[in-house]
Structure 1
Amino acid sequence: MKQLQCATFEGIDAKKVEVQFSATKGLPAFTIVGMANTAITESKERVKSALLSNSFTFPPKRLTVNLAPSDLRKEGSHFDLPIAALIALGNYEGEIGDWYVFGELGLDGNVTENTLLYPIILSLANQGAITRAIVPAVSLPKLSKIPGIEFFGVNSLTDTLNLLRAEELPQSQSHVSSFDFNHVTHNHQNYYFHQHYPLDFSEIKGQEHAKRSALIAACGMHNLLLEGSPGSGKSMIAKRLVHIMPPLHNDEMLECAKLEILEGKEPTFTPSRPFRSPHHSSTGASIFGGGAHKAQIGEVGLAHGGILFFDELPHFSKTVLEALREPLEDRHIRISRVNTKVTYDANFLFVAAMNPCPCGNLFSTSVACRCSDLEISRYKSRLSDPFLDRIDLYVQMHAVSSEDKPSVTSRDLHAIVRQAFLRQKQRGQERLNGALSDAEITQYCPLNSEVQQVIDQAIGRFGLSFRAVSRVLKVARTIADIEGEDNIGKAHLLEALSYRKR
């Protein structure tokens, strides 16, 4: 029995699959077993045509291809190439080695690309399960950005067979980093960023308090809620925030490219974080992921490493808002179904915008609010206290004035974000301030007696929960980083407390 290695996609991770082949005596037949989906069972016809087009004669035997483990559902046309290669090598007596082989076959035996190859191989690389692979030559520009793997590109089934039978391997395509972006360096690690700002903070007039909160949110990945009248600039700030986010490590850029592919886009391999903005009418399954037989990734998972923006926050369903509490706290989302259970990383910056009342004019100085107290109470009661407790920065935006002027550019804010990012890295933090654990808060957010007295008074006066205290300390730590201070001061803590919703 001969075998090659392949893999299938389950949720957001790849699972190793052994493609096994045997030819036994019996009536001529060609069977694929091992819980293969339609795309794989249909590969029999593609494999037959590709082999016959390359002068291969099927033996008068019973040909069986097994995809192990047999209790794992497999999908994808990239199984074509290993199946065809094993059948063609049926009489080959030499060793073919431990190879990963991926590729879809055309009827003439040419190897074509499969969209799932990049996320599959990146997942295998993160697991340390793959060191070399045979892939379509057309996929090399994308795949070669994954480090630690030797890639051998092939254009046809014949090229694959020659490679598997070769005593001496040709030159492989190893990791080729073409990331030619601006970067900052810490501990010999590059963190990439761009200085292209298609949407600039200079276009926002006034709203200095909101701009300050956006800067703090970007520096530490703190959740932000903007409340203000229609047209006050809430969405403008949210859409510009993504362009001043912290720099990305090489591995994070590869993860962002994987999310682009899972969304159906061509990967860009740029230091741009994702920005997801689902409509308030979106279903829970589209936001969190789901499916009857296969758990698909949702908006929360696609926002990993970037921004998840909820405009018109109170109009989202109560079920969605309450379910959002888990990823906001734990930084991951778990989808459980009868047939599958999948956990997605969901470490994103949550930004939300809302009106102060149903008509939106409660904060207006020129237009009268038409809402009754009961309507306003019902509107705001859609946001529960446990949900609001997970919001780090709450900002009320004032109405637009003719005296408002532009004050700061995205380039200036981005420079401050990079400086704060380096301060966090230089302290030895693996994660940004917004994601610090309780133990890391104790380590990186020490308080002197004066500052401790302030937080103790705030706990009694405002009834802060343990979660709220932790989030206040993390925001204060970020404010201190922006100001270039090593320790959290009284002013930093007071400013952090001013952003808590009461």
Structure 2
Amino acid sequence: MGLNILYCAALEGLEAKEVEAEISFTKALPAFQITGLAGNAIQESKQRVQSSLLANGFKFPPLKIVVNLSPSDLPKQGSFYDLPIALLIALHGHISEQDDKRTWFAFGEIGLDGRVKDTPAIYPLLFSLLSKDKNRQSFFLLPKSAENFYSKIPHLKAYYIDTLQEGIEVLKNPPILSQSYEDLPFLSEEILGEKYYFSTDFPLDFKDIIGQERAKRAAMIAACGFHNILFEGSAGSGKSMIASRIPYILPPLKGQEILEMASHTLQLSPFRVFRNPHNSATKAAILGSAVAQNVKPGEIALAHLGILFFDELPHFPKTILESLREPLQNHYFTISRLHAKITYPADFLFVGAMNPCPCGNLLSISKECRCNQKEINAYKNKISEPFWDRLDLFVQMQEGIQEKNIIASKQMQKQVLEAFKFQKRRGQDCFNARLEGEKLEEFCFLGNEVKETLELAIERFGISLRQKHKILCVARSIADLVQSKYIAKEHLLESLSFRKI
């Protein structure tokens, strides 16, 4: 009995499910069939596979060839099924089960001349498969063109091939695999035995922004603790400039987090992602969609571990803003449809920007506002109180102030990195904005004087429990920036100054 089975994978929701490709040759009229809910791209692979095999000297036997992709009730799409199908046909009868009992996965699109090509769908499947221990003992055949990318995935035992013929030779006589996991080629800092990666390149630098010291201070606090932040100011005051520079001062990333982000971005980068959807984007584009098993992640999923920036916040549909309340609070989002219920992580730092009124001149010292009070109220009422409650920092931009003290991104990144190390060394495993329950009590301990100040503020301004929680978390980040073990009164007062009362 020859080689009858190779493995591939398909996405079911956001998780890779193993697909068993099996083949049979039977005496019947010559034919070539693929079964198992194979999509159009897989059905078209018959022509690619036939051409590539003929180009490599293979002669099709006068038999009926049936390739089944199991489980047969799982929909499958993608041209990366070409490689396992072609290998099964080429090697049928040449390798016995006694020769090789290893589990083999194969991914790759086949050119008409037998070249093996990479496709964007392969990396997310590999990353998901190798998150399970059982697949870490399997062997993979992958396109040589993507070796630099895939070799950064831990536990991946892969042979990289350029052509179908090379894949045939590897399966016939597998060479000794001497490769090992390659470290990520970025600057790193080791904290308590864990490596964290970052970059000292700043394509966009805070030193380009003249003035707005308070807004830049708030941006650094937000970066330190991953706090949601909203900038309000006149057009041209620098809201978008500050937002676009925050990604370069954010805390460093674990290697696993870089690999996780690459599932969406398809590139390895030490910078956290920055998603900036336009206010005309549809609800499905922002939140994601699910039709049967076909899941399309939205902007909130693509922003996971990074920044989601909404410019002109009140111009986004109210249904979208209200739907954001769940991921802003719980850091995940669930799509429920008739045939699918998918939950995906959405742990991002939300940054918003808005004008103070429809014409944008309410806070301007040089232009006159053209809006009446009714228009201003209608504009601001587009953002509900529950949504405001989920924002940690609120900043009104300044105008006409040109401070000479210009701070650069390099200095800000250094402060954030030192604060991040300070957090880790005290035993904290999450950002300050994510502190809850016992961890909040442990790391946000207040002395008697500070506690009295907070209670006075709660009584005077009618602060809710959620707002109190956020005030404490922001105060903790302010304290971290100066390496203070405890939250002092000045840290709490500064935190209160960034609340929208």
Report the TM-score range of the alignment, normalised by the length of the smaller protein: over 0.9
Match of 2:322 in 1: 322
* SS of alignment partner, residue 31 of structure 1: strand
1:444-483, aligned counterparts within 5 Å?
A: 444-483=443-482
> 1:284-332: CA deviations, max 9, x gaps?
1111121545221221111111111111111111011111111111112
1:378-457, aligned counterparts within 5 Å?
A: 378-401=378-401, 403-457=402-456
Match of 2:56 in 1: 54
Match of 2:361 in 1: 361
| 2-structure distance, mates of 1:374, 1:285 | 32
Q: Runs of 5+ in structure 2 lacking a partner?
A: none
> 1:161-204: CA deviations, max 9, x gaps?
221222x533343322251x332211222212111222221222
Residue 30 (1) aligns with residue 35 (2): no
Which amino acid is 2:182 matched to?
A: V
> 1:415-456: CA deviations, max 9, x gaps?
100001101111222221112233321232222333333333
| 1-structure distance, mates of 2:433, 2:494 | 16
Match of 1:264 in 2: none
* SS of alignment partner, residue 196 of structure 1: coil
* SS of alignment partner, residue 17 of structure 2: strand
TM-score (norm 1): 0.94
> 1:458-496: CA deviations, max 9, x gaps?
333222222222211111111110121111222212221
Match of 2:298 in 1: 298
Which amino acid is 2:105 matched to?
A: Y
How far 1:29 sits from its partner (Å)? 2.4
Tell me which of 148, 151, 167 is aligned to 1:141.
Answer: 148
390-399 or 187-196, which deviates more: 187-196
Distance 1:172 1:61, change over 3 A: farther
How far 1:242 sits from its partner (Å)? 1.3
Contact between 1:314 and 1:382, CA under 8 Å: does it hold in 2? Answer: yes
* SS of alignment partner, residue 382 of structure 1: coil
Residue 256 (1) aligns with residue 255 (2): no
1:105-124, aligned counterparts within 5 Å?
A: 105-124=110-129
TM-score (norm 2): 0.94
| 2-structure distance, mates of 1:85, 1:395 | 60
How far 1:49 sits from its partner (Å)? 1.8
Match of 1:485 in 2: 484
| 1-structure distance, mates of 2:121, 2:87 | 20
| 2-structure distance, mates of 1:212, 1:118 | 38
Contact between 2:188 and 2:197, CA under 8 Å: does it hold in 1? Answer: yes
Match of 1:246 in 2: 251
How far 1:88 sits from its partner (Å)? 2.1
* SS of alignment partner, residue 413 of structure 2: helix
Match of 1:164 in 2: 171
Match of 1:175 in 2: 181
| 1-structure distance, mates of 2:405, 2:282 | 38
Match of 1:235 in 2: 240
1:310-349, aligned counterparts within 5 Å?
A: 310-349=310-349
Contact between 1:35 and 1:74, CA under 8 Å: does it hold in 2? Answer: yes
Match of 1:225 in 2: 230
How far 1:229 sits from its partner (Å)? 1.4
Contact between 1:151 and 1:172, CA under 8 Å: does it hold in 2? Answer: no
Contact between 1:34 and 1:70, CA under 8 Å: does it hold in 2? Answer: yes
Contact between 1:202 and 1:406, CA under 8 Å: does it hold in 2? Answer: no
Percent of counterpart pairs with the same letter? 48
| 1-structure distance, mates of 2:405, 2:40 | 58
Distance 1:291 1:408, change over 3 A: same
Which amino acid is 2:21 matched to?
A: V
| 1-structure distance, mates of 2:127, 2:330 | 24
| 1-structure distance, mates of 2:275, 2:400 | 27
Tell me which of 81, 105, 109 is aligned to 1:100.
Answer: 105
| 2-structure distance, mates of 1:93, 1:239 | 56
| 2-structure distance, mates of 1:87, 1:428 | 55
Tell me which of 195, 212, 222 is aligned to 2:217.
Answer: 212
Residue 155 (1) aligns with residue 157 (2): no
How far 1:11 sits from its partner (Å)? 4.2
Match of 2:16 in 1: 14
Which amino acid is 2:372 matched to?
A: S
| 1-structure distance, mates of 2:257, 2:65 | 43
* SS of alignment partner, residue 395 of structure 1: strand
After superposing on structure 2, the runs of 4+ consecutive aligned residues of structure 1 that deviate more than 4 Å are none
| 1-structure distance, mates of 2:153, 2:119 | 17
> 1:103-150: CA deviations, max 9, x gaps?
111122221212221221112122334332111111211110111111
Match of 1:70 in 2: 72
Match of 2:281 in 1: 282
Contact between 2:95 and 2:172, CA under 8 Å: does it hold in 1? Answer: no
1:125-140, aligned counterparts within 5 Å?
A: 125-131=130-136, 132-140=139-147
242-251 or 122-131, which deviates more: 122-131
Q: Runs of 5+ in structure 1 lacking a partner?
A: 262-266
| 2-structure distance, mates of 1:310, 1:62 | 57
| 1-structure distance, mates of 2:488, 2:87 | 66
| 1-structure distance, mates of 2:299, 2:114 | 38
269-278 or 448-457, which deviates more: 448-457
* SS of alignment partner, residue 493 of structure 1: helix
| 1-structure distance, mates of 2:36, 2:447 | 63
1:362-377, aligned counterparts within 5 Å?
A: 362-377=362-377
* SS of alignment partner, residue 363 of structure 1: coil
| 2-structure distance, mates of 1:406, 1:312 | 29
219-228 or 13-22, which deviates more: 13-22
Distance 1:145 1:368, change over 3 A: same
Match of 2:45 in 1: 43
Contact between 1:289 and 1:299, CA under 8 Å: does it hold in 2? Answer: yes
379-388 or 243-252, which deviates more: 243-252
453-462 or 412-421, which deviates more: 453-462
